Structure 1
Amino acid sequence: MTDKTAVRANARCPICGKPRATELAPFCSKACRDRDLLQWLGDGYAIPGRPAPQSEDSDLYPQDD
């Protein structure tokens, strides 16, 4: 067994930490796979960056404070 195979065999689900299922890799279950998808769809994963520039249309659509 090579080192890469050993690492994959011991890999854990990134959501809950349980051993992952081969058919659902890298997740252990459909529930964890769906939780991850919902994080992506709900902007739960984000990389910080500079704020977006204000558009010229910003005065047409005032923000409620």
Structure 2
Amino acid sequence: MKIPFWHDVNLEACVVVTNHHNWREIKAIWLVQEEKAISTSLEKFSLMIGDNCKIGPNSVID
């Protein structure tokens, strides 16, 4: 599955972004960059945002 890398994102005030339990059987998380799969060696992954992103006040990024 290809997950887009977002940029110019606006996360409004009081947004909560956190890790969650990974219910999939294959728990490994991979990133795709220029059609190459890159292993993160992680089973949980919270957030990745790109350039020019704005995070509002009282937001929680865990």
TM over 0.5, yes or no? no
Given the two structures, how large is their TM-score scaled by the length of structure 2? Answer: 0.19
Q: Flag the structure with higher helix content.
A: 1
Q: Which has the higher contact order (CA 8 A, sep 6+)?
A: 2
Q: Flag the structure with higher strand content.
A: 2
Given the two structures, how large is their TM-score scaled by the length of structure 1? Answer: 0.19
